[in-house]
Chains A and B, each alone.
Chain A
Amino acid sequence: EAGVTQFPSHSVIEKGQTVTLRCDPISGHDNLYWYRRVMGKEIKFLLHFVKESKQDESGMPNNRFLAERTGGTYSTLKVQPAELEDSGVYFCASSQDLLAGVHEQYFGPGTRLTVT
Chain B
Amino acid sequence: DAKTTQPNSMESNEEEPVHLPCNHSTISGTDYIHWYRQLPSQGPEYVIHGLTSNVNNRMASLAIAEDRKSSTLILHRATLRDAAVYYCILRAYSGAGSYQLTFGKGTKLSVIP
Which positions in A face B, CB cutoff 8 Å?
Answer: 4, 31, 33, 35, 42-45, 48, 50, 55-56, 58-59, 91, 93, 95, 98, 103-110
Task: Enumerate B56-113 residues with CB–CB distance to A below 8 Å.
Answer: 91, 94, 96-105
Whether A110 contacts B100 by the Cβ 8 Å rule is: no
- Shortest distance in angstroms between B72's beta carbon and chain A's nearest beta carbon? 19
Chain A residues with Cβ under 8 A from B100's Cβ? 33, 45, 48, 56, 58-59
A107 to B98 alpha-carbon distance, docked (Å)? 16
A42 to B96 alpha-carbon distance, docked (Å)? 23
Lowest 8 CB-CB distances: which A-B pairs, in order?
Answer: A107-B43, A56-B98, A43-B103, A45-B100, A104-B46, A48-B98, A56-B96, A107-B44
Q: Which residue of A lies closest to B43 (CB)?
A: A107
Chain A residues with Cβ under 8 A from B42's Cβ? 109-110
Q: Which residue of A lies closest to B91 (CB)?
A: A103
Say which residue of B32, B41, B101, B105 sits within 8 Å of A105 (CB atoms): B101
- Interface size for B (C-beta < 8 A) is 21
Chain A residues with Cβ under 8 A from B34's Cβ? 103
- Shortest distance in angstroms between B8's beta carbon and chain A's nearest beta carbon? 13
Which positions in B face A, CB cutoff 8 Å?
Answer: 32, 34, 41-46, 49, 91, 94, 96-105
Say which residue of A56, A103, A107 sits within 8 Å of B32 (CB atoms): A103
* B32, B44, B49, B94: residue with the most chain A Cβ atoms closer than 10 Å: B44
Whether B43 contacts A108 by the Cβ 8 Å rule is: yes
Given A43-B103, A91-B44, are A50 and B97 also a contact pair (CB < 8 Å)? yes
